[in-house]
Amino acid sequence: MNKKTIEKFFAGDTLTASRLMSVVEKGGADAEDVLNTLFPKMGRAYRIGVTGLTGAGKSTLVNQLTRLYRTRDLTVGVVAEDPTSPFSGGAILGDRVRMLDSHGDAGVFIRSIASRGNETGLSQKASELADILDAFGRDVIFLETIGVGQLEYKIRYSAQTTVVVLTPDAGDDVQSLKSGLMEIGEIFAVNKADRPVADRFADDLRSMLDLRSTGDGWEPPVVCTVATTGEGIDDLAKAIDQHQSYLDTNGLLEKKRIDALTNRVTIIAEEKLREIFWENGYIKERLKSTLDDVLSGTISPYQAADKLVTPFKHDMDNAEGDAR
Ligand X SMILES: Nc1nc2c(ncn2[C@@H]2O[C@H](COP(=O)(O)OP(=O)(O)O)[C@@H](O)[C@H]2O)c(=O)[nH]1
Q: Identify the residue among 20, 24, 50, 59 touching Mg ion (CB under 5 A).
A: 59
Strand (E) or helix (H) holding 108: strand 108-114
The distance in angstroms from the start CA to the end CA of the chain is 38
Q: Does 59 bind ligand X (CB under 6 A)?
A: yes
Q: Identify the residue among 32, 119, 194, 204 touching ligand X (CB under 6 A).
A: 194
Q: Does 65 bind ligand X (CB under 6 A)?
A: no
- The one of Mg ion, ligand X, none whose footprint includes residue 57, by CB under 5 to 8 A per kind, is ligand X
Q: Identify the residue among 47, 125, 192, 256 touching ligand X (CB under 6 A).
A: 192
Tell me, by CB under 6 A, how many residues bind ligand X. 16
Given phi > 0 = left and psi -120 to 50 = alpha, else beta, which region is 217?
left
Q: Which residue is nearest to Mg ion (CB)?
A: 59
Q: Does 84 bind ligand X (CB under 6 A)?
A: no
Q: Does 256 bind ligand X (CB under 6 A)?
A: no
d(CA 115, CA 80): 10
The DSSP result for 249-294, as a single string, is HTTHHHHHHHHHHHHHHHHHHHHHHHHHHHH-HHHHHHHHHHHHHH
210 and 176 in contact (C-beta within 8 Å)?
Answer: no
Taking CB under 6 A as the binding criterion, the range among 53-61, 106-114, 172-180, 246-254 that sits at the site for ligand X is 53-61
Strand (E) or helix (H) holding 81: strand 76-82
Contact residues toward ligand X (CB under 6 A) are 52, 54-60, 95, 98, 191-192, 194, 226-228
- Which chain residues interact with Mg ion by CB under 5 A? 58-59, 95
